[in-house]
Every structure is written in structure tokens, then in C-alpha cells.
Structure 1
Amino acid sequence: MKALQLEQPKTWKQIEIDEPDAPGPGEALVRIHRVGVCGTDLGGYLGKFPFFSYPRIPGHELGVEVLEVGPDVKNVQPGDRCSVEPYINCQKCYSCERGLTNCCEEHKTLGVMCDGGLTQRMILPARKLHLANNLTYEQSALVETLAIGCHAVDRAQVKEGETVLIIGAGPIGLSALEFVKVAGARPIVADLSQKRLDFVKTNMGVNDTILVAGDDSDIERLESLTDGRRADVVIDATGNNRSMAGALNMAAFGGRVVYVGITQSNLEFPHAPAMHRRELTLLASRNALSRDFARIIDLIEKGTINTDPWITHHAAFEEVADVFPTWVDPESGVIKAMIHVDG
């Protein structure tokens, strides 16, 4: 059975792996139809993503078909189309006991800490499959990206009428944008790329944007859009330590700052004038919860979330090694690339 492996950063290798065994209790055998590509995959390709190890079969944004289920599996059956929740949790640690399965102490994300879905068939825990029979396989693969933004907005407890600044208009920032809009809040999007800002204006209905200059003019622009108040909530989706530290200065008094991007660098910011004086709440957001997947599938089915603008690029399985380097370039216009595995 064919699979695509990142042997080391920037080195793809097509390999043959064994066919999976029959599913055991609580398991399902699935066929992979679509694999979405996100910043985690790009970072893994470049050797810059925390937690990524090599060699590794990537792929955690998956649209799959159930082929066979093991004993006692009740939530799915053969023929079902599903979205995959790729966060494998132990179900035993203190985090799992409290329902915080997204930050399990033994957490493993498919395609990052263990092999993922860039192959034809695989065994998965059936509890990680979410029915999506009314979605396409591409929409099913998109659900995980949307779940990241959903969880970040939930962490911030965004309220109707609040102003939310989203820093970074890549897929994770855009997923947060979807749920800021669902919450009835006012979004402002900031990014270094005018091309990305044009995209959110044209395709996602955002009126207010900030082309980041990296100096005091960014705050001045934000204040001009908020009558001097700045943002009730700031969601930083950049993974850039300078941006993340500076995000505190973009928050209003009593505001909340959510880090959904990841950096391996230390963050440094002044406590007294930024954090203390404004009495800010600082939050991390990691992965998503099971309930987020069912919610997103329902929102897509109802048309509340329009997936049409999201999927901008496609590649067949055999084309990945050749086209993947082009997707790393921010100016390529990639929002979400889909790999067609079918077979």
C-alpha cells in the first residue's frame, strides 16, 4: 500500500507500507480520500514545526470513508463519510479526566507525533470519527482546520458586538475569523501580505484590515478603527514571537489575548505598562475538542459556514513531491490545498 513520507525536512519519499489489520474493538478501518494541507504540514516540510519528528507520514486533515468497523463500534458503519479528529488522547490522564482531551498529557497528533493519513487506508479509533455524510470529502477534510479557530474563539469567550483583532490571515487565522463572525462580533484582520488582506475583503466579507508595518503605525491604524479603544479580543495566529509579544499592546483595557499560533522562541513583553495596567487575560489555545467537530459539520450543512472560498489548490497523490515546495511561498495564494488520495 502506497504512502508519502517526509524522510527529513524538504525530502519526500513514496514508500510501500503494510495493509492494516482488521479493526479491533473500538476501531475502524477507513479509506483516505482527501488530505488537507495546513501550516503544520508546511512547517513540518521546512523542519520548523515543534513536535514534528522524522521520518513521518504526514496528514491530519482527513476526509475518509469507513470500510469496516470492529466489535462494539456503534457511532459509524461501513459506507459512512467522516471527518477525522486527529488528536489521539490517552483517556486516562488528569487532562482527559476533566474533558480536556485537546491537551492530553500523552497527546499525539496524527501526522506529527505519529504517522498520519497520506496513505490509502488506516486504522483509527472509531471515537475520533465524526459523521459527515452530507459533506464532500474536501469539506470533511476542512473541518479540522475550522476546529482550531473554533476552539480559539471559544477560549476567548467572544461576545456579540465585541471587536476582535485577528493577527495572521493564514488558514488558522481565517478559521478563527469564521467563528468571530458566527459569534456576531466585529472582526479586524491584520497581516503582512496585502494579497491575503484582499482575499479576506473579497471572499470573507471583512471590511477592516491592517497591513502590518511592524511599528507604532499598526496601533495607530487599530485605534483609528476602534475610536481609540483597540480590540476587546486579540487572536494571534502567526506563530511569530515578536508578533505574539506585541499582541498585548493591541488589546483594550480588560481585553483578552489568545495565542493560537505556536513558537519555540521565548516571549518577552513589559508587564507593568502592557499586561498589568490593562489587566489583560492571556490564553493559550491548543487543538480542539470533540464537540467542535460536530458543531462545525452542522454549520457547514446549514450553510452558515461557506467552504467555497477555502479550497484554492489541488494535487494528486503522485504530484505532491513536485508541487509542495510551491505551497510554502505565501505569495502562491494557497489558502487550503487538498491532496487527492483516492485508490
Structure 2
Amino acid sequence: MKYLICEKPYKLSISEQTIPPLEKGESLLKIKLAGICGTDIHAYEGTQPFFDYPRILGHELSAEYVRGSKANVVAGDHVTVIPYFHCGECIACLHGRTNCCANIRVFGVHIDGGYCEYIAIKDEYIVEGKGLPLDKLVLVEPLAIAAHAIKRAHVTNQDTVLIIGVGPIGAGLLNFAQIAGAQKVIAMDTNTKRLKYAKDNLQVDAIINPKEEDVMAALKNITNGNMPTVVIDATGNHSVLQDAFAYIAHGGRYVMVGIQKNNLTFSHPEFHKREATLMSSRNATLQDFNYVITCLKEDKVNVQNYITHYLPFETVTSDFESLLRADTDVLKAVIEFDRNN
């Protein structure tokens, strides 16, 4: 079988090896589509922390079940994969929070991932597609990250939600905030095309471009001076993460989905007087995956125009760098291993 490997920053190559043998409790999957996420791009650029080379990237997958021991799944079924391998023994796992396992190994980050024609994977990490087409299944993992963050934020119909960063995760956050019944949903980004996507495709209540307007003034105007009760960052940008502390309403919640390797600082008196809540949101759980699949089946998630670029597997080594250009209108790019049913 063929696989795509990142040998070092800015160097991808296609190699061959035998189809992996199955161990007890594993199944063989044929990869059909694989999403390219920020983690993969940062690894390619050499900016992904705690990352070793060479590495097979890829953890957003839609696949066809080939053979193995997974219950209630037969050859030819469409499936996706939970790429966060947990220990089952740490305090987080014992409390059902496998997404933040103390000994977590993420497929395509800490260990080789899914940019392969075939993968062998433990049955517990295989999620039934429940009839979803491949193009929707490949979106389940990033959408599950968004759904998990909205759940962490406890969004209700009393909330005004500000999502900072309208990339693939940010678009999902906007959509799941709406599904949760948020009173008002605001999108903020410096990319005018992505803001247009949020307004036209997701019908958010308001958009803000920090390059064109004063953010604080815009938020006060939109919220009648109250500021957003929920602020969620999906950028991972250091200055954006710090600035967002000023956007939280009194009694509000701030959730960090984007990750920054440097220290953050903020005014304790300003944070304290709001009795604000600060939390992170990492990965997702099986419950989040199943919730996303249900929402997709019920057409609650608007994925129209979500996938903007398809890269054939055979040309991805030469095409990958084009995704980094500032003028590239990319929301979600996907590698096509095999689209045939």
C-alpha cells in the first residue's frame, strides 16, 4: 500500500509498505478521504510543538470497513475514526474524559496517522457511519471538536456567543452554537471571504472584521453594551487570545479551543470582577462523535461549501504547499485516496 509521510518540515513524500497485519481487537480500514487540518499544516511548517519527524500525518478520516472484529459492522460499511487513543486508567479516563487523557496519543501527531491507503486500528476507535456519505464522514472529527467546545461552554438560549476565527473549527462552532439555541451568534475574523461564508452560509447574526472596525465598539453595539456571555477562540493566535479577555461579559465564559505554546497574561482584577470562567476545550469524545453524526443525518449542520479543495493523493506532495498561500480561498481541504463506493 502507499502512504504519505512528512519526512521533515516542508518535505512530503509518498512511499510504499505492506498492508498492516491485524492484532486482536483490531480491524482493517481502507481510507477514502482524509481531511487536512491546522495540525497537519503546522507539522508541515515545522511549528507543531512536541512533534517528531518523520511522521505519517492525518486524523480526519472517512473509510470503508474491510475486515476485522468490530461488532455490527460489515465489509463495505462507511466508518470514521476517533483519533485520540486513551489509556483508560488515568483520572481523566476514569471520569469519562478520554479526550484529555493524561497519556493520550493522537493519531497522526504522537504516532503515525491515517494518510495511508489502509490502516489497522483498534475496534473501540471505529465509529459507524450510519449511512452518511464519505464527504460528510470526513468532517465528523473537526465538527466533533466544535460540538465538544459548545458543550463545555454550556451554551443556552440566554447566551450571546462570539466565535473568533472562522476556519473549519470556527465554522463548526458557529453552527453548533446555533443548534444549542444561542440567542445571538457573532463571527469575528480578518478574512473577508470567511466572514462572508459565515454570513451567507450560516446566517450568523453579526460579523466583525478587526481590520475594519473597533472590536470593543462593535461588540458593545451588537450586545447593547453587555458584551458576549460566551467567547470562544479558534485561532490559537497569541495576541487574539489575550485581547479576548476584554470581550467577556460579567458572569461570562471564555473557552480556548485554539492552542498557543507561549504564556498568556491578563488583568486579574478585570477578570475577577466579572466572576468570569476560563476553560480550555481539547479534542472530543465518542458521545460528541455520535452527536455530530446525528446532527448531520438530520441536516442540522450546514456543510454546503465547507470542503473547498480536493487534492488527489497522487499529486498531494506538489499541491500541499499551495494551501499555505494567503490568496488561496481554503476553508477545508481534503485528500482523495479513493472516492469510489
TM range (shorter): over 0.9
State the distance in 2 between where 1:260 and 1:300 align. Answer: 22
Partner SS for 1:253: coil
Deviation at 1:105, TM superposition (A): 1.2
Deviation at 1:214, TM superposition (A): 9.7
- Matched residue count: 338
State the distance in 2 between where 1:111 and 1:330 align. Answer: 25
Q: Residue in 1 aligned with 2:255?
A: 258
Segments of 4+ in structure 1 off by > 6 A? Answer: none
> What is the TM-score of this pair, normalised by structure 2?
0.96
List per-residue Cα deviations over 1:267-319 (Å, max 9, x = no partner). Answer: 0111112x111111000000001101111111111111122221111011011
Query: Is the CA contact 1:87–1:110 (under 8 Å) kept in the aligned structure 2?
Result: yes
Partner SS for 1:313: strand
Q: Residue in 1 aligned with 2:165?
A: 168
Mapping of residues 1-343 of structure 1, within 5 Å: 1-21=1-21, 23-70=22-69, 73-185=70-182, 186-213=184-211, 217-273=214-270, 275-342=271-338
State the distance in 2 between where 1:52 and 1:66 align. Answer: 29
Deviation at 1:106, TM superposition (A): 1.2
List per-residue Cα deviations over 1:75-106 (Å, max 9, x = no partner). Answer: 43322211111111111222111111001111
State the distance in 2 between where 1:298 and 1:24 align. Answer: 31
State the distance in 2 between where 1:18 and 1:45 align. Answer: 25
State the distance in 2 between where 1:322 and 1:280 align. Answer: 47
List per-residue Cα deviations over 1:101-144 (Å, max 9, x = no partner). Answer: 00111111111111111111111111111111411112111000
Query: Is the CA contact 1:138–1:338 (under 8 Å) kept in the aligned structure 2?
Result: no
Query: Is the CA contact 1:230–1:252 (under 8 Å) kept in the aligned structure 2?
Result: yes
Query: Is the CA contact 2:228–2:249 (under 8 Å) kept in the aligned structure 1?
Result: yes
Cα RMSD, aligned residues only: 1.5
Partner SS for 1:83: strand
| Structure-2 change in CA distance of 1:56 and 1:214 (3 Å) | farther
Query: Is the CA contact 2:188–2:210 (under 8 Å) kept in the aligned structure 1?
Result: yes
State the distance in 1 between where 2:29 and 2:17 align. Answer: 15
| Structure-2 change in CA distance of 1:328 and 1:195 (3 Å) | same
Partner SS for 1:204: coil
Partner SS for 1:243: helix
| Structure-2 change in CA distance of 1:311 and 1:209 (3 Å) | same
Query: Is the CA contact 1:75–1:126 (under 8 Å) kept in the aligned structure 2?
Result: no
Deviation at 1:53, TM superposition (A): 2.1
State the distance in 2 between where 1:52 and 1:180 align. Answer: 32
| Structure-2 change in CA distance of 1:330 and 1:280 (3 Å) | farther
Partner SS for 1:200: helix
| Structure-2 change in CA distance of 1:127 and 1:330 (3 Å) | farther
Partner SS for 2:230: strand
Identical-residue share of aligned pairs (%): 40
Q: Which amino acid aligns with 1:34?
A: L
| Structure-2 change in CA distance of 1:307 and 1:214 (3 Å) | closer
List per-residue Cα deviations over 1:45-102 (Å, max 9, x = no partner). Answer: 11112233211111100001110113xx324332221111111111122211111100
* Unaligned 5+ runs, structure 2: none
| Structure-2 change in CA distance of 1:339 and 1:125 (3 Å) | same
State the distance in 2 between where 1:168 and 1:67 align. Answer: 38
Partner SS for 1:252: coil
State the distance in 1 between where 2:87 and 2:98 align. Answer: 8
* Unaligned 5+ runs, structure 1: none
State the distance in 1 between where 2:71 and 2:59 align. Answer: 23
Deviation at 1:330, TM superposition (A): 4.3
State the distance in 2 between where 1:124 and 1:331 align. Answer: 37
Q: Which amino acid aligns with 1:20?
A: P
